[in-house]
A and B are shown apart, each in its own frame.
Chain A
Amino acid sequence: MPRLIFSERDERQRWHASTDLELLEGLRAGNERALDELVQRKTPALLQVAFRVLGDLEEARDVVQVSFLRMWEHRARFDARWSPNTWIYRIVTNLSIDHLRSRKSRERHQEPYRHHLRQVESERGFSELQQREVEAIFNELAHGLSEKQRLAFLLREVEGLSSQEVAAVLECRESTVRNHLFNARKALQKEVRRRYPEYAQEAARYAADGDAEVAAT
């Protein structure tokens, strides 16, 4: 009588229902289906982080691909006491930074954004920019930050991680994260005022309108 000795579908369903921690423990044990599930589950979030660091989706794909390979090869180093996301984000952010350092064509990516944004601004004004354009502005301005500032701002302000989680990813103290963040905010505010004065004026005008309405009521 034929006997079922293995079912891929059952395996996939089992891993699909598992927690992140269980997945990483499965990964550490060398289970390839745990890796498959990890790829399925984490690809969108990791692509987003790598994309924010690199500003290029295709390069982000390359980095995330290598990150998963790195997770597999270094699976024995995962410690179950860590937060799974911290370990995963750390690998992706480190590889993204390495990639950024080795990239020679940074200007090639910045200039088209700048040109596009100036056109958009002249047509519609900053306040009506769509999310994609805000994203492009972020990519442009963030290039002016140091790596640590950029990552701290990205993980804390854009991705919404807590200071504690950012500190774990960046392997530094929470107070250091706050300092990076503080300096990043200063630098970005300065750049916004310098490169997009319309934006600052618009915000000030809106604030003045709001004051007038509050006074009238």
Chain B
Amino acid sequence: MSGRDLHRGQTPTGGASGCLDLQSWRRLAAARDASPADPPGWEEALRHLDGCPACRTAAVAADPLLAFRRLPPPALAADEAESMLLRVAALRGASRVGAAPASSGFASSWLASQLTSSRRLAAVLPLRQLAAAAVVAAALLAGGNAPQQAVPAPAPLLTQASAPAIDAVLAAEPVLDELDRPFDHVVQWNGDDLSVVLVVDGRLGV
């Protein structure tokens, strides 16, 4: 490094472009080191420095700690925000399950475990299968205008006895709230004796 690296085209006290020379930076830095209060002109000088890489050499020579100003962000992955979204969702799911009261019935705990594992399922099942499964599940759970007896049991776990318990869980905790991540929109179709709710993954282009 040499004096030739100095930023050119400025007056000693800062020219029209707002650049400061070494002497000015040193004056400001010395004043700053002498008192906790920022010296007059310091804020403006920093604002200029943030947008003027050419002033950086002189500024850092006057105050080495200015090298730490506006350090570049850490090297983040391109999908950092997306993976954080999943991490937060997983943590929320875990904390919700952990906070579930011990007196919860079998149906609600079964449902909670199914809901919180939806993201694990998403990782291993192809999208179309998952969407199809969701559509079937939503149609079965919606019930709508149909009498309860008309809904076929989808699995041995869903007995007639547990149906009211599931209704109570659904009323207290909406299913869509849990299924929304991989899906895009919901469409409802009301027939004469049956309501069908379609939960559609937008990536399928439906």
Partner-B contacts on A (CB < 8 A) = 1-9, 32-33, 35-36, 39-41, 43-44, 47-48, 51-52, 57, 60-61, 64-66, 68-69, 72-73, 127, 131-132, 134-135, 138, 157-158, 160, 163, 175, 178-179, 181-182, 185-186, 188-189, 192, 199-200, 202-203, 205-207, 209-214
A189: contacting residue among B64, B71, B75, B84, CB under 8 A:
B64
Asked whether, in the complex, the Cβ of B71 is within 8 Å of the Cβ of A214, the reply is no
Partner-A contacts on B (CB < 8 A) = 1-6, 12, 21-23, 26, 32-33, 35-38, 46, 50, 57-58, 60-62, 64-65, 67-76, 80-82, 84-85, 87-88, 91-92, 95, 176-177, 180, 183-189, 197-198, 202
Asked whether, in the complex, the Cβ of B33 is within 8 Å of the Cβ of A210, the reply is no
Asked whether, in the complex, the Cβ of A64 is within 8 Å of the Cβ of B3, the reply is no
Q: Quick one: given A199-B64, A207-B22, are A65 and B69 in contact (CB under 8 Å)? A: no
Query: What chain B residues lie within 8 Å of A203 (beta carbons)?
Result: 60-62, 64
Query: What chain B residues lie within 8 Å of A43 (beta carbons)?
Result: 80-81, 84
Q: Quick one: given A60-B74, A158-B71, are A36 and B85 in contact (CB under 8 Å)? A: yes
Asked whether, in the complex, the Cβ of A127 is within 8 Å of the Cβ of B1, the reply is yes
Q: In whole angstroms, what is the CA distance A66 to B92 when docked?
A: 9
Give the shortest distance, in Å, between B77 (CB) and chain A (any CB).
10
Q: In whole angstroms, what is the CA distance A43 to B80 when docked?
A: 8
Asked whether, in the complex, the Cβ of A182 is within 8 Å of the Cβ of B36, the reply is yes
Q: Quick one: given A192-B65, A210-B58, are A7 and B84 in contact (CB under 8 Å)? A: no
Asked whether, in the complex, the Cβ of B87 is within 8 Å of the Cβ of A65, the reply is yes
Q: Quick one: given A69-B95, A206-B1, are A214 and B189 in contact (CB under 8 Å)? A: no
A214: contacting residue among B1, B22, B202, CB under 8 A:
B22
Asked whether, in the complex, the Cβ of A8 is within 8 Å of the Cβ of B88, the reply is no
Asked whether, in the complex, the Cβ of B12 is within 8 Å of the Cβ of A157, the reply is no
Q: Quick one: given A8-B185, A158-B70, A213-B6, are A39 and B81 in contact (CB under 8 Å)? A: yes
Q: Smallest CB-CB separation from A217: which chain B residue?
A: B12
Q: In whole angstroms, what is the CA distance A212 to B23 when docked?
A: 12
Query: What chain B residues lie within 8 Å of A127 (beta carbons)?
Result: 1
Asked whether, in the complex, the Cβ of A4 is within 8 Å of the Cβ of B84, the reply is no
Most chain B beta-carbon contacts within 10 A, residue among A8, A73, A138, A203: A8
Is chain B's interface secondary structure helix, strand, loop, or mixed overall? helix
Between-chain CB contacts (< 8 Å), 5 pairs: A35-B88, A39-B84, A68-B84, A209-B2, A210-B22
Give the shortest distance, in Å, between A188 (CB) and chain B (any CB).
6
Give the shortest distance, in Å, between B161 (CB) and chain A (any CB).
30
Query: What chain A residues lie within 8 Å of B69 (beta carbons)?
Result: 157-158, 160
Is chain A's interface secondary structure helix, strand, loop, or mixed overall? helix
A5: contacting residue among B60, B84, B177, B187, CB under 8 A:
B187
Asked whether, in the complex, the Cβ of A8 is within 8 Å of the Cβ of B183, the reply is yes
Give the shortest distance, in Å, between B53 (CB) and chain A (any CB).
11
Q: In whole angstroms, what is the CA distance A210 to B65 when docked?
A: 19
Q: In whole angstroms, what is the CA distance A209 to B37 when docked?
A: 30
B36: contacting residue among A47, A179, A189, CB under 8 A:
A179
Q: Quick one: given A5-B188, A178-B37, are A47 and B80 in contact (CB under 8 Å)? A: yes
Query: What chain A residues lie within 8 Å of B189 (beta carbons)?
Result: 1-3
Asked whether, in the complex, the Cβ of B85 is within 8 Å of the Cβ of A40, the reply is yes
Asked whether, in the complex, the Cβ of A6 is within 8 Å of the Cβ of B68, the reply is no
Give the shortest distance, in Å, between A165 (CB) and chain B (any CB).
13
Q: In whole angstroms, what is the CA distance A131 to B75 when docked?
A: 12
Asked whether, in the complex, the Cβ of A68 is within 8 Å of the Cβ of B65, the reply is no
Query: What chain A residues lie within 8 Å of B87 (beta carbons)?
Result: 61, 65
Q: Quick one: given A47-B74, A61-B84, are A212 and B187 in contact (CB under 8 Å)? A: no
Give the shortest distance, in Å, between A127 (CB) and chain B (any CB).
5
Query: What chain A residues lie within 8 Å of B67 (beta carbons)?
Result: 134
Q: Smallest CB-CB separation from B91: which chain A residue?
A: A69
